[in-house]
Chain A
């Protein structure tokens, strides 16, 4: 079974600063995908970034980047130049590769507050 652990229930960062959210996971799969989703107070789950396990290069989307360490089963999210709109719950998620019902396994989330 896959498990996803987010050890930081809450974090805060000053506007324009950089913050890193941690995520570790446990799996016996070799091929899989990892995601970060954000859920603002509106409760809409929004994809932030996606990483394929077979890719060594870390994914980047504008101000968002990941540090993917496959051997350590670590997948942290770095938010640069934090903005007030980044305030949200952030969920790390795992999805195995292959056919069949590929559901997402979510961590418990990190509540990020950006302070003006």
Chain B
């Protein structure tokens, strides 16, 4: 399986600021996803990062709050904009080679908003 890294691994941010999280894969992948895991909760899909086009967002998530870029087949970023304490979560990226492929996850980014 691909080796997936995320930066930063954790951060503490002030209310109203923005943070960009990077997801880097060591090989080209077709599918990249961003998930949120709120404290003590399960994972919820934020969006599918599409290479060369706008991301596909799930219900309850909007581009203005969570802009996503995917400039190539090995890299994606998720920005958490205008943060509030409710955004404190672990953010994970996952990758897959096809729509029927198993998804493999990055190590996650633990975000705390004060």
Contacts and interface: CB of A to CB of B under 8 A. Distances in A.
Contacts of A108: 41-42
Nearest to B110: A43
Nearest to B4: A44
A103 B45 contact: yes
A51 to B, nearest CB: 11
B75 interface: no
B79 interface: no
What secondary structure prevails in chain B residues at the interface with A?
strand
A45 B35 CA distance: 11
Interface stretch (A13-21, A60-68, A77-85, A93-101): A93-101
Interface in A26-71: 33, 35, 37, 42-47, 50
B5 to A, nearest CB: 11
Given A43-B90, A97-B100, A101-B56, A107 B42 contact: yes
A101 B48 contact: yes
Interface of A: 33, 35, 37, 42-47, 50, 91, 95, 97-104, 106-109
Interface of B: 1, 31, 33, 35, 41-45, 48, 56, 58, 90, 92, 94, 96, 99-100, 102-105, 107-108, 110
